[in-house]
Structures are given as structure tokens and as C-alpha cells.
Amino acid sequence: MDLTDIEALEARFNGELQACADDRALTALHDAYLSRKRGHIGEIMRQLPQVDPSVRGAVGQRANALKRRVEEAIEKRRAELAEAAQQAIVDLVDVTLPGIRPRRGFIHPISQTRREICRIFMQMGYSIEDGPELDTEYYNFEAANIPRDHPARDAQDSFYVTDDLLLRTHTTPVQIHAMERRKPPLRIIAPGRVFRRDATDATHTPMFFQVEGLVVGKGISFAHLRGTLQTFAHMMFGPDVKLRLRPSYFPFVEPGAEVDISCFLCKGNGCRVCKDSGWIEILGAGMVHPALFDRVGYDRKEVTGFAFGMGIDRITLLKHGIEDTRLFFENDYRFLSQFRS
Amino acid sequence: MKISYLWLRDLAKLPAGPLETAKALTSMGHAVDTVSKLWEDHIFDLDITSNRPDCLSAIGLARELAAYYGTNLHTRPASPVEEGQRIENLTTVVVDAPDLCPRYCARVLTSVKIGESPAWLKSRVDAHGFRSINNVVDVTNFVMLEMGHPVHAFDLDRLGGHMIRVRKAKAGERLRTLDAVDRLLDPEVLVIADQKEPVALAGIMGGELSEISAGTTRILLESALFDPMNVRRSSKRLGLRTEASARFEKGCDPEAPPRAADRVCHLLQEMGCVVARGYLDVKSATRPPAVIDLKVADVHALLGVEIGAEECARFLDLLGFTVKLNGAESLQARVPTHRVDVSSPVDLIEEIARFHGYDRIPAALPPLDSEPEPLPAHLALEEDIRDFLVGAGLTEVITYSFVQPPADPAGMVPLRNAISERTHLRSSLAAGMREAALHNINNGHEDFRFFELGHVFPAGQRESAALGILVSGGATAEPTWRAPADRPDFFEVKGIIEELFERVAAKWVAFRRRDGTAAAEISAGGAAVGWIEPLTIDGRHPAYLAEINLDALALRIGRRVDYAPVVRYPASWRDVSFLVDESTEYASVVKAVADAGGRELGSITLIDLYRGDKLPGGKKSMTLRLRYQSATRTLTSAEVDELHARCVEAVATLGSVRR
Ligand SMILES: [Zn+2]
């Protein structure tokens, strides 16, 4: 036994190390060289007493150095193999596989529009009111200045449950309740479901949604109504939208107005939606009729007010280019899932 | 209503073409929906508001246009030359119900030759949607279109006793009207009768018996006023709306009857008829035209724009009001008789605004003098629920508030006048949601999770707000490359509701099995607030339906966030596995363990539930993971062991613990 034997062993180890391709082979190699009882280096150590004393010290040192190098080399190799294995796994990742998505839910387009309208008016300091959908003749009609046998009832043919109870035809009764409960000044909007006995077609359903607004106080004028609706139209439809007010008739307001906005689809040049007129009718409005103030106990000499009302369904139709209002209540997932909010 | 542009041009000497005229009408509140060309003319289709019956006529609209353009209204001749016998010798008129017929004018024409109308008349009535019938009928229709006042012609010789009696119908009386319908009359209907029987429905339609026919030679012309309310009620009850009733029910000019009769006579005279001398005019005291005082300051205050007294007076004068200025502060206006809609100062302000032009009123924002209020709690709750559910993958639906009732509609409120098979108000959101589900399934889409927020109307109870949930799809919407699509599952629906209730801070939520079913009743704060039910849609598709009464829930939610200090001391976990009878509910196990563990038992989690052949019959195996933690110190291992031993002991009272 001499130094050349140790050098030969090291050369053999280097060759065998290169041949190790996995963890198990490395463990076997480790045992073959470093095991106390059976390992090659252990064997050298055991034979050391028989070595010529003049080289015994040098051989012992070389054997110990070899043991360290073998240990380090095996560890290094082990780390290399682990890294390679990790890389092999990483190389399997296909980031173009579809992601596992959470289930999606959608807010009904009418609710989306309602929220948008409410948010705009809340920014303008309005409070939100609601009330029963089943209300009395008095609140739906009489207090709104539409007595029995009034021709204006034609436009609001209603569903009755008893002689006195009906499904509200507009959200005006909410305004009446609010005025009864609160003193002026007030500034409210009332969104909600309303019902009319209309035959169902592409533009009519017996149930639809409205938002009505009411502002009452000292010195409230038609100019304020105009300013308010203009602000709303700009926020809802864009800053370039123009407003047009035409005289019209609703028993609960006077002067009454029909309000058009310039068509935001064709910029007023004429298209199918605005029937080539460049204008789209979006709401009805006017100054609160003094008779309503008399009913709720407001002093008509002290306060004036304006009111307006619009169809949420109609605005939603316009906003999304929907052609048939019946789609809103058919609840087809293929329809509802188009309205990402 | 249809009206010819050329007719308006002739009457108002219009300086403008058809399209510009249509714009002018629209800007005055008479919306022109369409303009269609007819030969060299244009026909406007207008939407006349119900307060302006005076504009249901050529003269009415021409009057508005003449005011708009400052031209003069062309008047039409209505001065027939009377000859022969006096009317009193030919007929009599008795009005038994003056409250329902405040005025009845009659004229008699003789030497009538019924025949075709002249071409101008035919084309005019035709252009306005009336079928030409004969010269007499066409003239009465023409005058109604021209002046807005309905006039009716009777064959005088077919009136029993040659007389007219305006009275209420008698019970059991019948009348065959011009539309060939035999009508049974009730005593609320006002009729025109002869000596013995009804010959016309007052203000609505004539009868066949006294109809103008080829052999008619003498005519009694009726030009009357009828009570708008009675006409409206009768026409509704009879289901008979006519051009005449549409005008009478909105109110007619009280001075129109003699003028309209004269105009008809004038035209028929041109066609060879002889107009008998005199006319009958039976009238009860009519109200004098309203005189209204208007303060100019009120105009400014209501419109928010300064319009001087002179300007106000000028507008009103153009519209036919007789105006007296009282300096710069006020004016007095006498209302022309055709303006049945004007009776108060605010009506005058509207007229002034209309003529000033709505678009010339400036825009301003109202002063913010009222304090805004927070969103009412129940609406805020709905918004929170909507957001949570959408985030949890549910899609909002909106279904009709009225539904097709089940075979036994007990507990539901019926509509008195439904228009479809949806005859009852919904007492629950279930029916509508099922309908939405069925629609989707029928269209090949079976995987959906829906919710609805809406009111329900259970019979005998107050209308209340409800939340409905219908789950048809599983946790994953579609099969993925990692997992197949799930089936809907009760515990997922329950999980959604548990999570929702926790978010809205509902108090003491509990689920109880509905006896003998796989459904659950949900309570909060000890009160019933809803349920979960399995169901099958269309006999094949399993789904779960849940409904929550939001009014009940809203009463049982606590303060939303109550801060508790974060526990800084470490927690220890121990598991316990045990066998219990199938009939032992998890809730009872939890209760036993919670009672035993006390304050230091931080949480109880069911981590395994096993049923199967390996277990003794009628048993199930559960494994709980218990977390022990103190808010004030670190628990020692021995303390945890002791706590856990107490919990295990509690479990042992319900089943056999596996050690
Ligand atoms: Zn357009």
C-alpha cells in the first residue's frame, strides 16, 4: 500500500461519481467509499498499521484528504442532481394551460343601471327612498292628482288586488309617503319595480323599473330642474350630451316636460335607435303640482319643487343596444353573463 | 291623431313647410311622431296629451300654430241660410239628466238627398283615417276633425214621436249600435232616446234604428255637451271607445255645440239640403269662463327666468286669453272657452313657459339645503347581499312579481284583472326562480347559480323583501383539466348562506332538518328566516332552492364589526375520532364538545366523516380537530392534554371514541 494506490482510488471514484445519475446511485457510492466497515477508504485506514512507517504519516493524511473530497463531491453531485430534477419538473409547466377560474357571477343589467343612476344622484346629495309595491288607490293615483275617471289613467292601466289595493304603476306613491313623513326641504330619489297592464311586446312588459326624483324647498325652479337633469345626463351618458325639454302633460307636475337627450350613439346625425331624429326620449319631468303639496300638508305658498321620472329598463336598453325588453325577465344565462360589471 | 299639413297651412296661413311645422308643434308639446307624404300633402301623426282635447282638431292645432307664428287663424263659414218650417214644429228635445248633459243643441235639415260626398270631402276624411260613407256622415266626421266637436245625425223620421229625450237607460233596455252589436244597457249609461226607446249611446255611438240611410230625407242634427266622467265610465264599461267618446271624455268647449251644428248645416246646405228655421238649445246654467289673477313674480319664481308682465300678456293674448295688465306686477286673464284645461295660475305659467320656450330657460343647480341621509339599512343590506353573492359566483335574475299559481293557490293573492296566465302575486321567489331555471335548461344550459332580491306577497301578511337562491351547478362551473364538473350539493348552498349570514352579522344562526325530508329550516336569533330545499327541475335536473325573508333577517343582525383583540399566544391542536349512531346530529356533538371545552377551546372543525361497510351497522365515524388556545397565556402541554381529555369524555357520552 502506498500513495499511488490512493491516487488510483481517487481516479476510480471520480469515474464512478460521473456515472451516478440519481440519488440512489449516490447513496450506494457513498456507502462503497465511506462506510466504516466496508468502505474503500475505511479499508485503507484499517491497513494503515501495515504501511511502511516512513510513508505511513503521508498516506494517512492523503487518505483523510480523499475522504473529505469524496464527501464533498458526493454532496455537490447530490445538489446538482436535485436541481436538475427540480428543473425537469419546472420544464413540465405549461403556462398556456387554462387557469382554474373561480365561478363567475353577474349583477342583472337593470340592477347595474339602477346603481349607476342612484350613485349619480347620491353624489348630488339625494337620499334614497323606497316603499311597498302594493299600494292604495290614494297613494298611487288620488294623491298624485289623478282622480278616478281621469283620462291620464289610460296610460297607467293597473293590476288590482282589491277595490283599493293595486300594484303601483309608478314610484310616485313613494314620493307621497316621503313627503308625508318628512318636512321640506327634501331631495330624494325612489327606484323600484312598477306594474302596468300592458300587453307584452318588444318594448313593453307588464313589470318594469323606474327611478323618480323629487326636490322640494324654498325657491326651487324649473331652471333647477333643467340644471339637475343636465348634470345627470352628462354623468350618465357623457359630457357632450345635449338636453331638450318639450312641453308635456303629467297630472302631478306643471309645467310638465318630456326630456330628450341628443343621441349618444350617432351624435345626433340620426340612427335606428333615435329613429333618425337625433334625439332620444329618456324621462318625464316638471314642477310639482301645487295640489300634491295640499295633499301632504306642505304650504304651496312657501315651497315649490320639481320631480322627474325615468325608466331604468329603457335606459339599460339604450346603453347596451338591447332590442327586446322581454329579455330582461327571461333570465337566460347567455344574456345575463354578457353584462360584466 | 292624424292631421293634414295642407289643412293646417290653409287654416293658419303657415309660413313654414311640413317638417318645420312638425318641429314647431313638437316644441309646443304636441309631439309629432311621424310625418308621412300623401300625394302633395303631408300627414302628421301626433301624440296629443290628454289635457288638450281642443287640439284633437284642425282648428285647435292651427290656433296653436297661428299663435306660434303670429299669423291669423282663418275662420270657416258657419252661417246657414234658414228656410221653411221652424224647428219647434218639427221636433222636441227634452233633457231629463241635465247634470250629465249640460247642453243639447239640435238643428233640423230637410230635402236631404243621401249620396256620395264630393271629392274634396272624401279625400279629406279618408286622409284622416275615416272611411267615406255618405255625404251626411262624412260632413259630421269632417266637422269633428275640423272643430273637435262630435256631431251626430239622426234620421228624424225614424225617431219615435219625432223627438229626443236625453235620459239614463232603464234596466233591461237594449240598443243595437252602429257597429252591429246588440248591447244590454245598465242604468248608469246616458242614452239619447226617442219617445219610447234608446236610439244612441250619448257621446259614444248612434244606434242602427235611427241611422242615416239611402232613404233618409229629414235629419235631426245633435250637437251637445256630455259629462266627461259619465262618457268615460260608460265607454269603459261597454268596452266601446270611439272618436266621439275620446273627445267628450276629455271635455269639450261649452260654446262649441251651436257653432258645430251651424258648420254642419252650412256644408250640407252647399250639398242641397234645406236648413229649418231656428235651433233648439237646451242648456242648464253653464259656468262663466274662468278669470285668473297671476302675479308676475310667481312666474319668475317657478320658472327661474325673468319674463316681464308685457311679455306674459302677449303670449297669453296670442293663445286666445283676454288679458288685462295691472301694472308690471300682475295681470288678469280670462280663459277662452276651448281651454278646458286652464283654471289656475300655474296653468297660466305653463302656457307662458311653453311660449317662451322650455329650451330658453337657463340651467342652474338647486341650493343644497337638505341634509342627505345614509342609505336605509334594509337597502344597504340588499346591496351587501348582492355584492357578496355575485362575488361568490351567483348571477342575479329578475323574475315577474306575478306568477302562474300551482293547482292549489292557497296562501297566494290573486290579481283581479290579470292579463295572462300569471294570475297571482308571488308568495315566494321559488316559482319565478324555477321558471328561470327551466328556461335555461330548455336552452341547453344546465350549470347555473342564480339569486333574486325582490318583494313577495303572502296572503294575509305584509309584503316583504326576500332573497332567493337556486343552485343547479356545482362548485366549478365547468369540467376542468384538473377535475370534472361538480354536482350541486346541499352543503355548498348551506355554506353560501352561512358565509352570507356571517358577513351580515346575523345572530345565532341554526339549521334544523325539516322532518322526514332533506330540507332545512333556517333560523336566526331564534326566529325562522328561511329554508333550503332540494328539488328536481323538469324531472331530471337536481338543484337546491333557498329562500330568506330579509325583513325577518334584518331584525336579527347585530353590529357589523365588534373588534376583538388578536390572540398572541400559541394554539395547540388535538384530534378525536369516534363512532356515533347515524341519528346523532353533528350539532349535538358540537354542543357537547363546546360545553366541555369552555373558553379555551378555540375552534371545532370536522375533518372527516365516514360511513361504510367497515363500520358496525347504523354507525358513522367522525373526526374532530380541536384547537386549544388561551387569550391570556401559553397553555402547557399538560393543560392542553387535560382540556382535550374533558372534550373526549364529552364525546364518549354520545358515541365510542376510537383511541
Ligand atoms: Zn341616433
Read off the pLDDT of residues B118-128 as tens digits, 9 standing for 90 and up: 999 999 999 99
For residue A79, being part of any structural domain is answered with yes
In B320-359, the residues whose Cβ lies within 8 Å of chain A are 344, 346-347, 349-350, 353-354, 358-359
Residue B645, pLDDT score: 95
pLDDT single digits (tens) A96-128: 988 888 888 999 999 999 999 999 999 999 999
Mean pLDDT (whole number) for B309-322: 95
Phi, psi of B140 (to 5 degrees): -65, -40
- Residue A135: CB partners within 8 Å, gap ≥ 6? A165, A166, A168, A173
In chain B, which segments carry CATH 3.50.40.10? 82-283
* Facing A134 at nearest CB: one of B29, B250, B457: B457
Residue A296, pLDDT score: 96
pLDDT single digits (tens) B428-443: 999 999 999 999 999 9
Mean pLDDT (whole number) for B464-483: 83
Domains contained in chain A, number? 2
B70 has a pLDDT exceeding 70: yes
CATH number, span B572-658? 3.30.70.380
- Mapped onto helix, strand or coil, the DSSP state of residue A118 is helix
In A43-82, the residues whose Cβ lies within 8 Å of chain B are none
A165 has a pLDDT exceeding 70: yes
Which chain B residues touch A218 with a CB distance below 8 Å?
369
CA B126 to chain centre: 34
| H or E segment and range at residue B168 | strand B163-168
Whether the predicted model's global pTM rises above the 0.80 cut: yes
Among A228, A138, A226, A215, residue whose Cα is nearest residue A179: A215
Which chain B residues touch A105 with a CB distance below 8 Å?
389-396, 449
Mean pLDDT (whole number) for B54-59: 96
Mean pLDDT (whole number) for B120-144: 95
In this structure, are A276 and A310 located in the same domain? yes
For residue A123, being part of any structural domain is answered with yes
CA dist B607 and B619 (Å) reads: 17
A63 has a pLDDT exceeding 90: no
CATH 3.30.930.10 fits B377-554, yes or no: yes
In this structure, are A37 and A78 located in the same domain? yes
What's the whole-number average pLDDT of chain B?
A: 93
* Residue % of chain B over a pLDDT of 90: 87
* Cβ within 8 Å, pair A331-B393: no
In A107-166, the residues whose Cβ lies within 8 Å of chain B are 107-108, 110-111, 115, 122, 124-130, 132-134, 149, 151-152, 154-155, 159-162
Any A CB within 8 A of B389 CB = yes
B192 has a pLDDT exceeding 70: yes
| Length of chain B measured in residues | 659
Residues B272-285 as b/e (b if ≥16 CB within 10 A, e otherwise) read ebbbbebbbbbbee
Mean pLDDT (whole number) for A73-87: 89
CATH 3.40.190.10 fits B291-360, yes or no: no
Closest CA of chain B from A158, distance in Å: 8
B209, B176 contact by CB (below 8 A): yes
Is ipTM beyond 0.85?
Answer: yes
User: Can you list the alpha helix ranges (DSSP code H) found in B53-103?
Assistant: 58-69
B311 has a pLDDT exceeding 90: yes
Residue A341, pLDDT score: 67
In this structure, are A232 and A140 located in the same domain? yes
pLDDT confidence band for A317 (50 / 70 / 90)? very high
B465 has a pLDDT exceeding 70: yes
pLDDT confidence band for A225 (50 / 70 / 90)? very high
C-alpha A274 – ligand 1 centre gap (Å) = 4
In this structure, are A84 and A130 located in the same domain? no
Structural domain harbouring A11: 3-92
A43 has a pLDDT exceeding 70: yes
Mean pLDDT (whole number) for B346-375: 93
In this structure, are A18 and A127 located in the same domain? no
The domain boundary, picked from A29, A62, A92, lies at A92
pLDDT confidence band for B483 (50 / 70 / 90)? confident
Residue B149, pLDDT score: 97
Residue B476, pLDDT score: 63
In this structure, are A121 and A158 located in the same domain? yes
In this structure, are A187 and A38 located in the same domain? no
In B229-288, the residues whose Cβ lies within 8 Å of chain A are 229, 232-233, 249-250
Residue B482, pLDDT score: 82
Which chain A residues touch B390 with a CB distance below 8 Å?
105-107, 341
Nearest C-alpha in B relative to A110: B398
CA dist A273 and A276 (Å) reads: 8
Residue A245, pLDDT score: 95
Residue ranges with CB less than 5 Å from ion ligand 1: A 263, 265-266, 271, 274
Nearest C-alpha in A relative to B378: A130
Residue A299 DSSP class: -
pLDDT single digits (tens) B591-611: 999 999 999 999 999 999 999
* Facing A130 at nearest CB: one of B379, B414, B476: B379
CA dist B96 and B88 (Å) reads: 18
CA dist B274 and B82 (Å) reads: 7
Residue A335 DSSP class: H
User: Can you list the alpha helix ranges (DSSP code H) found in B555-603?
Assistant: 586-597
B281, B95 contact by CB (below 8 A): no
Phi, psi of B555 (to 5 degrees): -75, -10
In chain B, which segments carry CATH 3.30.930.10? 377-554
CA dist B339 and B289 (Å) reads: 9
Residue B659, pLDDT score: 67
pLDDT single digits (tens) B502-541: 999 898 999 999 988 999 999 999 999 999 999 999 888 8
* Facing A304 at nearest CB: one of B29, B302, B386: B302
Residue A294, pLDDT score: 96
- Residue A202: CB partners within 8 Å, gap ≥ 6? A323, A324, A325, A326
CA dist B112 and B155 (Å) reads: 10
Residue A6, pLDDT score: 83
Within 10 angstroms of residue B557's Cβ, the number of other Cβ atoms is 17
pLDDT single digits (tens) A250-280: 999 999 999 999 998 888 788 888 888 889 9
Residue A103, pLDDT score: 85
Cell of A14: 471520480
pLDDT single digits (tens) B377-436: 999 999 999 999 999 999 999 999 999 999 999 999 999 999 999 999 999 999 999 999
pLDDT single digits (tens) B27-51: 999 999 999 999 899 999 999 999 9
In chain B, which segments carry CATH 3.30.56.10? 2-69, 291-360
In B441-470, the residues whose Cβ lies within 8 Å of chain A are 443, 445, 448-450, 454-455, 457, 463
In this structure, are A185 and A253 located in the same domain? yes
For residue A295, being part of any structural domain is answered with yes
Cell of B544: 337546491
* Residue % of chain A over a pLDDT of 90: 61
Residue B370, pLDDT score: 85
Residue B479, pLDDT score: 77
B110 has a pLDDT exceeding 70: yes
* Cβ within 8 Å, pair A200-B420: yes
Here the CATH number for the domain that contains residue A131 is 3.30.930.10
Mean pLDDT (whole number) for A193-214: 94
Residues B421-440 as b/e (b if ≥16 CB within 10 A, e otherwise) read ebbbbbbbbbbbbbbbbebb
Nearest C-alpha in B relative to A126: B372
For residue A102, being part of any structural domain is answered with no
- State the angle between helix axes of B5-12 and B58-69 in degrees (0 to 180), rounded to the nearest 10: 60
In this structure, are A69 and A153 located in the same domain? no
Closest CA of chain B from A42, distance in Å: 46
| H or E segment and range at residue B36 | strand B31-38
In this structure, are A76 and A116 located in the same domain? no
CATH number, span B2-69? 3.30.56.10
In this structure, are A132 and A242 located in the same domain? yes
Within 10 angstroms of residue B374's Cβ, the number of other Cβ atoms is 10
B477 has a pLDDT exceeding 70: no
In this structure, are A334 and A278 located in the same domain? yes
Q: Per-residue DSSP letters for A183-212?
A: PSSEEEEEEEEEE--PPPBTTB-SEEEEEE
* Cβ within 8 Å, pair B376-A130: yes
- The fold of the B82-283 domain, in CATH, is Phenylalanyl-tRNA Synthetase; Chain B, domain 3 (3.50.40)
pLDDT confidence band for A21 (50 / 70 / 90)? confident
What's the whole-number average pLDDT of chain A?
A: 91
- Mean pLDDT lowest for which of A33-37, A159-163, B271-275, B459-463? A33-37
B499 has a pLDDT exceeding 80: yes
The domain boundary, picked from A63, A92, A121, lies at A92
In A235-294, the residues whose Cβ lies within 8 Å of chain B are 243-249, 251, 254-258, 287, 289-290
CA dist B192 and B168 (Å) reads: 8
